[in-house]
Amino acid sequence: MKVENTQVQMRKGILEFCILEIISRGEVYASDMLEELTAAKMIVVEGTLYPLLTRLKNASLLEYNWVESSSGPPRKYYKLTDTGSEFLEQLRETWRELVDSTEFILNKKAK
């Protein structure tokens, strides 16, 4: 078993949460999300981001607006829906619980 496979799966498991967090700050363009996720070493290819954005939109967690661009075609800017904001808050609670549980296990002394 390779550690890289497990690391990839761990990142995939929290990718949706990270994308929703980024979008929760305000309307955001997909390439800006990709840049932040790449800088955070969460994602490396845009082929992963766009299908996930579509899935989140289809689940009514996101919506988007087309905005004209002075340097090319119109851009799609994403924002959370009310449902998306509620969903994100539930993910934040789950994240806090997971961190606490993991810290408990990591800090437990051997017998």
User: Which tens digit of pLDDT belongs to each residue from 26-67?
Assistant: 999 999 999 999 999 887 677 889 999 999 999 999 999 999
| Whether pTM exceeds 0.85 | yes
In a 3-state reduction of DSSP, which class is residue 110?
coil
Distance CA 36, CA 99 (A): 22
Distance CA 62, CA 78 (A): 7
What was the pLDDT predicted at 41? 87
User: Which tens digit of pLDDT belongs to each residue from 21-34?
Assistant: 999 999 999 999 99
What residues contact 74, with CB distance under 8 A and at least 6 apart?
Answer: 66, 67, 68
Answer whether residue 11 shows pLDDT above 80.
yes
**Which of 53, 48, 107 minimizes the C-alpha distance to 80?**
53
What was the pLDDT predicted at 72? 85
